Amino acid sequence: MTTPPTLYVDRPLPAGFEELFVGRARIVGPDPRDLALADGVIAGSALWGQTELASVPASLQVISRTGIGYDTVDLAAATSAGVVVCNAPDAPTVSTAEHAIALVMVATKRLAVNQKRLRLADGDYFAANDGMELDGRTLGLVGYGRIARRVGVVGTALGMQVIAHDPYVDDADVELVGFADLLARADVVSLHAPLTADTRHLFDAAAFAAMRPGSVLVNTARGGLVDQDALLGALDNGPLFAAGLDVTEPEPLPTDHRLLARDDVFVTPHIASSTDRGKRRLYEHAIDNAIAVIDGVRPATVVNPEVYDR
């Protein structure tokens, strides 16, 4: 009988998820001392930088992310160590897109502040409500991958005109525009770009100043895409009407952070993909990828393919 591989999990598993490994792999972790036993890592939100990768055991073959992003993994250090890095780009699509739409609704309909008014028995609710109707408005998608495309479908169903900016996409089923054009036209901007050196603080003071008066920002991608000081300035002084955020810098925000004290900002703690079905898909895809690498099969989702040239 072939000995099953040993997979290290870098955060506690959700209840009942041990069954996903039964008959396929032995689980160790998240105690860092257990890493010495591992053939592969199922990587959640932990950092896998140069320091961590410098001390991985020779047996370690793969770091398999439970999600799309892999900015927590130093790809150069992993490649140097001969470790394959995979992601799971299809797993979070549905849940994250649904969450993005939920944030659009919370922000544009002023749901949080209206609930607060009701709890306080505060004022004339009809007159005080300044929520936005979306039909006929423009939804701008920054990044046009799997999640953004699904958000765009819902936006279209709501009667919105959908435009997108993505320098890596040549053709699409919506109008592709330049970044400046998107900022000038969109009433709701939803972020779906990866975090890279080029996209860090893509939304800075200048970007916010170029947005439409009364516009809304939604971010379910990476907190580092947004300069949060500039975001606060755009909420205080215009042009932003509201914001909905599932990702921030840092994560989670400290309880005294200014964003959490605002009625025009709704923040969730990076949980868009962690629904009942979403969490399960994240782990299923990550486990499949890890075991494939260990079995000598190259997954389609390898993000450092140059490691195979070593």
Annotated active-site positions, please?
Answer: 222, 251, 270
> In angstroms, rounded to a whole number, what is the distance separating the alpha carbons of residues 160 and 217?
15
Residue 263, φ and ψ in degrees, nearest 5? -80, -20
